[in-house]
């Protein structure tokens, strides 16, 4: 069976010197780590980590999704996700990982008969307007994803598109172009969906946005693009089995969290995610939200100010060897670099034996680009090692649904475990809520009058600081 692997040799002091982690550091973490292991299990048993059970969700849910896809996929030219945060980043990451990198440009038969795929994940008016230049809204299916139904960005897009559909289609046909993914009972969107007769899929009540990719939030868009969602969940289930290992030193996800926790204590407050495969490029984007929003917290569980967290940075090998690695090898000792590699790519491309009379080019002749990207990954690993910069490597045998399920679930468990070590709530986002509330207040949303008064009392800007 294909299994994800993690090599953390170059996190250790015996390889990278004083910037690394010693075995003494790991031994000294035993009490905290064992407490975190117990807390993870207790919370799961108490139903406080519902996302841990997503790999085992009912066959009824999967059949419902697949049946719906079968019924509608031939009736639309494009499937458009309206979402933000995890509702957008997860579907984008899975689509990029599994399907052709130029999926939308392929003729329909080469897409397996599935519609084109777009994600509208921002409220930049230029971008949304540009989307309407390449799609016919009357031939699209729009998937509005919002658990609360009050996400301003997503719901503003929904309202614009709903009006467009109503202007161009008979009223009774509009509902065939909208599908909602939301809470089963609470919020605006479930109410709208029921009143308008929209097809609806449910986000489990106990699952937050950044942990929702293995719910219909991610499974419906994946299935709509021909991705094997059962294999995705099977991979997650395999990683869950590995994550039940009680010995944290032998538990892949727990050890990843422990290493990053120790690195944070040393002042390494930046986590670089650097995939060496274009298929995994957007895993780094998805990981950035998961890691930043879960671990960046002002208060610990006892209410003490701690200001913890590690800033995630996205990079892509080999591309960013030419833009970022200079900083990683010779800049501040404030980073952990995670290299994400692949053993077997989906295709092999051989470099022709040209320019044999030019030594600086001739050596490439007959080499595959597969060998080149893997060798460059090892070269980056060596450059980091030589400069004493902690790094670790996660390797997938190949990129398919089963392995992707393992990878997503691995990072989720590792994030939750790191939160336990930091003794914070990894599942809230009060800093995000502050920005949301300020937006609501400035637009005069009812119930936010006090917040509006607070905003009106903020210090006035000084002209002398504006050029």
> Catalytic: which of 100, 436, 451, 452?
436
Q: Which residue in the block uniquely carries the two structure tokens 């009812």?
A: 446
Instruction: Give the 3-state secondary structure of residue 13.
Output: helix
Consecutive H or E run containing 120: strand 116-120
Helices (H), 140-225: 152-168, 171-174, 188-196, 216-224
Q: How many CB atoms lie within 10 A of CB 379?
A: 14
Beta carbons of 256 and 414 less than 8 angstroms apart? yes
Peptide bond into 294 cis (omega under 30): no
Q: Is 5 a catalytic residue?
A: no
Q: Is 436 a catalytic residue?
A: yes
Paired tokens of 306? 């701690």
Report which DSSP code applies to 169: S
Dist. CA 411–CA 413, nearest whole Å: 6
Q: Which residue in the block uniquely carries the two structure tokens 């499974």?
A: 219
Instruction: Give the 3-state secondary structure of residue 7.
Output: strand
> Catalytic: which of 213, 293, 381, 420?
293
Q: What percent helix, strand, coil does the chain show, rounded to 5?
A: 55, 15, 30
> Catalytic: which of 304, 322, 461, 462?
322
Report which DSSP code applies to 43: H
Candidates 44, 35, 52; CA nearest to 420 is 35
Consecutive H or E run containing 140: strand 140-145
Dist. CA 240–CA 249, nearest whole Å: 16
Q: Is 293 a catalytic residue?
A: yes
Length of the chain: 467
Residue 340: beta bridge partners? 275, 394
Candidates 306, 307, 314; CA nearest to 271 is 314
Dist. CA 140–CA 169, nearest whole Å: 12
Torsion of CA 181, 187, 189, 193, to 10 degrees: 90
What distance, in Å, lies between the first and last C-alpha atoms of the chain? 61
Dist. CA 433–CA 119, nearest whole Å: 23
What residues are annotated to the active site?
A: 293, 322, 436
């Amino acid at each position: 069976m294909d299994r994800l692997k993690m090599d953390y040799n170059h996190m250790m002091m015996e390889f990278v010197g004083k910037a690394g982690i010693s075995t003494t550091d790991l031994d000294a973490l035993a009490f905290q780590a064992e407490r975190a292991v117990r807390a993870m299990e207790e919370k799961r048993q108490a139903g406080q980590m519902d996302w841990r059970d997503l790999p085992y969700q009912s066959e009824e849910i999967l059949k419902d999704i697949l049946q719906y896809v079968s019924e509608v996929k031939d009736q639309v030219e494009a499937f458009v996700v309206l979402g933000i945060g995890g509702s957008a980043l997860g579907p984008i990451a899975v689509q990029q990982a599994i399907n052709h990198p130029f999926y939308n440009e392929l003729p329909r038969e080469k897409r397996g008969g599935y519609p084109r795929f777009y994600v509208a994940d921002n409220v930049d008016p230029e971008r949304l307007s540009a989307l309407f230049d390449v799609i016919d809204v009357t031939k699209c299916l729009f998937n509005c994803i919002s658990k609360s139904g009050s996400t301003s960005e997503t719901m503003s897009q929904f309202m614009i598109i709903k009006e467009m559909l109503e202007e161009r289609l008979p009223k009774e046909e509009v509902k065939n172009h909208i599908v909602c993914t939301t809470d089963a009972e609470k919020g605006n969107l479930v109410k709208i969906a029921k009143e308008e007769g929209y097809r609806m899929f449910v986000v489990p009540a106990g699952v937050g946005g950044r942990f929702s990719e293995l719910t219909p939030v991610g499974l419906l868009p994946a299935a709509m693009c021909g991705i094997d969602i059962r294999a995705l969940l099977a991979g997650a289930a395999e990683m869950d089995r590995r994550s039940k290992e009680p010995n944290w030193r032998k538990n892949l996800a727990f050890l990843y969290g422990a290493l990053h926790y120790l690195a944070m204590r040393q002042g390494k407050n930046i986590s670089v995610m650097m995939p060496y495969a274009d298929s995994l490029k957007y895993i780094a984007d998805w990981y950035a939200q998961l890691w930043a929003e879960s671990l960046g917290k002002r208060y610990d569980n006892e209410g003490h100010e701690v200001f913890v967290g590690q800033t995630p940075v996205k990079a892509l090998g080999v591309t960013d060897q030419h833009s970022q690695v200079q900083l990683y090898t010779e800049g501040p000792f404030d980073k952990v670099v995670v290299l994400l590699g692949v053993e077997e790519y989906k295709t092999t491309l051989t470099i022709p034996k040209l320019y044999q009379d030019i030594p600086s080019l001739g050596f490439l002749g007959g080499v595959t680009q597969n060998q080149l990207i893997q060798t460059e990954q090892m070269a980056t690993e060596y450059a980091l090692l030589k400069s004493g910069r902690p790094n670790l490597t996660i390797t997938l045998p190949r990129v398919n649904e089963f392995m992707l399920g393992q990878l997503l679930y691995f990072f989720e468990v590792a994030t939750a475990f790191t939160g336990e070590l930091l003794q914070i709530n990894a599942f809230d986002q009060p800093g995000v809520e502050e920005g949301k509330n300020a937006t609501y207040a400035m637009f005069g949303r009812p119930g936010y009058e006090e917040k509006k008064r607070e905003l009106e009392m903020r210090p006035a800007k000084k002209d002398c600081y504006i050029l």
